[in-house]
Amino acid sequence: MKNIYLTFLVFALSFNFVDAQQESDCTVPPLLMSEYERDIKNLALRRMYQCQSSDTALVNIPTHWQDTIAEGLAAIYNSDYLERDTVFDVYSIHDINTNTIQASKTLLIEVDTSYSWTQAWQNLNTITDNSYLDSLVSSQGLYLHAFYTSINYASLRVDSFLNMNAIGDSFEQVPGIISVSQDSYIGGAGKIIYDKIGDDWYFDFVYEWGDCPSGCIYSRLWSFKVSRDCSVDYLGNNSFNLFVDENDIQKEQHHIVLVYSNLGNNIITVKTNDTMFGSNYSVIDQLGRQVLSGKLDNAITSLDLGLVKTGIYFFQVLYQGEKITKSIIIN
């Protein structure tokens, strides 16, 4: 299948496959586009380099590279899989793992302060009276954000994520500029992997934890396939963990309980996985009083809290001897 699976399967403690397909919708919600703009541009940029496209020379990442990725993410986001909630809501997985190819809003430029034009940047003025440099900065919509006098670095920013690799060489042609690098994530935790095979799009969401500045010791991967008709297959999950046992992974999965309050009424919606079916739940107010109780018998359960007052409540599930608690705000 995809090469990424081969690496993970060597060390996998578990891989669960799900044979199911759901119809979905590739319409990109504004919230998804807003929160995942950088992720989409990261994946598009890497795809451009993977395909050895001449578009890698462009500063602005072409929309046609972004569109299919945004639509594929939207299909997963719009689906009803519980695992969709896991990657988007519970863990909020973003592509922040260290990678040499990243879209960025910031350039870090080291300068030789013996050049007179650098005085403008030291005084926090974007315009330097160096015609070539000012034209380059203006054409890309860059502005000076900060100057670090202790190390003689200027921070130039722009309002949208760009392919900063494409403009580094242009800046380095300016006398007085020593080096140019983009400000990118270093030692972050979490990544999204995208691939296209035939007419199908594949997305892997990787949640990482454990000494991530040094590379992240543990990870969990969820895989999805999106077809041309926007239907979605959840392919399963995989654990990569050399230093903890299966019990620790099961504890990590305990977080897969989602509780939503519906605006304007006292109905709450609970989403969980089938391993919790039959588990006892209770809803408790801030004084520790039980408002509601019962058993979870469905993956999606709607609960009516009656005429409770507005405020904060706590939804608790007793699962394998442990209490899992989620807070609820009733408006």
The residue-averaged pLDDT of 177-198 equals 81
Q: Which residue has the higher pLDDT, 297 or 161?
A: 161
Contact 28, 35 (CB under 8 A): no
The residue-averaged pLDDT of 28-39 equals 90
Strand order through the sheet with 143-148: 143-148, 153-162, 104-111, 177-182
Residue 91 and residue 200 share a domain: yes
Q: Which of 203, 233, 252 is the last residue of a domain?
A: 252
Residue 239 and residue 263 share a domain: no
What's the pLDDT tens digit per position in 194-239? 998 888 999 999 888 776 666 677 788 899 999 999 999 998 877 7
Any idea what the CATH number is for the domain that residue 144 is in? 3.30.70.80
Task: Give Cα 313 to chain centroid, integer Å.
Answer: 29
Residue 211 and residue 72 share a domain: yes
Q: What is the pLDDT of residue 3?
A: 45
Residue 93 and residue 13 share a domain: yes
Residue 115 and residue 247 share a domain: no
Residue 59 and residue 201 share a domain: yes
Residue 214 and residue 79 share a domain: yes
Alpha-carbon distance values, 194 to 68, 174, 329 (Å): 11, 37, 36
Residue 90 and residue 191 share a domain: yes
Q: What is the pLDDT of residue 27?
A: 94
Mean pLDDT for the chain overall: 81
Using the predicted structure, report yes or no on whether residue 258 has a pLDDT greater than 80. no
Q: Which of 233, 252, 271 is the last residue of a domain?
A: 252
Using the predicted structure, report yes or no on whether residue 242 has a pLDDT greater than 60. no
The span from the CA of 38 to the CA of 99, in Å, is 13
How many separate domains does the chain show? 3
Q: What is the pLDDT of residue 65?
A: 95
Any idea what the CATH number is for the domain that residue 306 is in? 2.60.40.3080
Using the predicted structure, report yes or no on whether residue 311 has a pLDDT greater than 90. no
Residue 235 and residue 261 share a domain: no
Which phi and psi angles does 47 have, rounded to 5°?
-65, -40
Residue 218 and residue 90 share a domain: yes
Residue 57 and residue 144 share a domain: no
Beta strands in 218-321 (DSSP E): 218-226, 232-241, 257-261, 267-272, 280-284, 290-295, 300-304, 311-319
The span from the CA of 230 to the CA of 108, in Å, is 40
Residue 313 is encoded by which pair of tokens? 């409540």
Residues of the domain holding 233? 3-100+187-252
Residue 127 and residue 270 share a domain: no
- This model's pTM is above 0.85: no
The span from the CA of 59 to the CA of 216, in Å, is 31
Q: Which of 217, 232, 252 is the last residue of a domain?
A: 252
